[in-house]
Amino acid sequence: MTEKAMASPQPDRAIQLADLVGLIASIVIVVAYLLFPLRSDNPGNGFTFIYDVKSWNYPFSALTLIVGVVGIVSALVCLMSLRERAVRWWFAMLGALGLAFVIDNTLGGSPALAVGGWLAALGCLALIVQVILPRHNAATDARANDALLGIVRIGLGTLWFTQLLWKLPWNNYGCAAGPLAPGGSTGLCYWIGQEIAQPRWPLYHDFLQNLIAPNMNVALLPIFLMEAFITISLLLGLFTRLGAFAGVLQALNLFIGLSAIRGEWDWTYLMLTLLCAVFISVGGRFVGLDALLYARLKKLADSGSSVGRWLVKLV
């Protein structure tokens, strides 16, 4: 994708019916999570279900929620700026991703879906169905690769999101109640204890033992905030290149700390590093908030602003 193509005006500002369908369908998904139970065995709303990290289904239910949130952002970006026929495939693939929870729940023999689950499924199906609606006077450039890479970005961002759920600061970072210290059986305390007990390199062991372990009350918050930034950046396509760079650094940190632990597969963290690296190059200008930021930052950069020149490289 060239900068010239990104900077060129879109052919038509008319509201597309397909974008409105995408917006309404995505709102239905989020409302389903906000107000209704997803499954018959959990009376809480969808957000409560996701926070129940003991459930085997929470990664897929989190993915479906993310589809709703990202769908709202994407539809607003399309309504405000983007006019691309390839967006139909973006929404359709989002809808297919969102059905992951429904499919897994059905094939896995889990308890039946409740009202929220069926509403979320209906919203996902509507995202798929919008593909048949015409997009009049929209640009016809070949953007299928951009749509597919964007879906990969959403999957990657969802992975980071699910890893936030068990280390929330207001839940003592998932650790047992009381002072934070390496060890225990849950949360960040457990994993830092494992890194100290089974280090890959002695230098990293000394770093954890002498600097992190005595200061965990201070050290754990930056870890959470960094992963939260990576999550938001990748999911919303907001300063995507910066978020992807942060993802590379954190994935390398995970590789150094966790790959020597028995039972851990070191390729997991190498692949996570490589996937994040892809979006340092790709960015998030297709159906992400960067699509709205780029034209403004490019104009600022062209005016001679050094700040603008730096910021435009991050989207």
- A 10 A CB-CB count for 295 gives 16
DSSP track, 70-95 = HHHHHHHHHHHT--BTTHHHHHHHHH
First to last CA, the chain: 13
pLDDT, one tens digit for every residue, the chain (315 residues): 444 444 444 444 567 889 999 999 999 999 999 999 999 988 889 988 887 755 555 788 999 999 999 999 999 998 887 777 888 899 999 999 999 998 988 888 888 999 999 999 999 999 999 999 988 776 656 677 888 899 999 999 999 999 999 999 999 999 999 899 999 888 999 999 999 999 989 999 999 999 999 999 999 999 999 999 999 999 999 999 999 999 999 999 999 999 999 988 889 999 999 999 999 998 888 889 998 888 888 888 888 888 888 888 888
- Amino acid in the structure at residue 88: R
Q: Strand runs (DSSP E) across 173-216, as ranges?
A: none
Q: Are 126 and 189 in contact (CB under 8 A)?
A: no
Name which CATH class applies to 1-141. Answer: mainly alpha
How many angstroms separate the CA atoms of 284 and 240, rounded?
A: 5
Residue with tokens 């839940």: 171
Alpha-carbon distances, residue 14 vs 7, 73, 79, 81, 204 (angstroms):
19, 18, 8, 10, 57
The Cα–Cα gap between 293 and 305 comes to 15
Supply 259's token pair.
Answer: 């790959």
Q: What pTM does this model have? A: 0.89
Residue spans of the domains in the chain: they are 1-141, 143-315
Q: Are 67 and 97 in contact (CB under 8 A)?
A: yes
* pLDDT of amino acid 270: 93
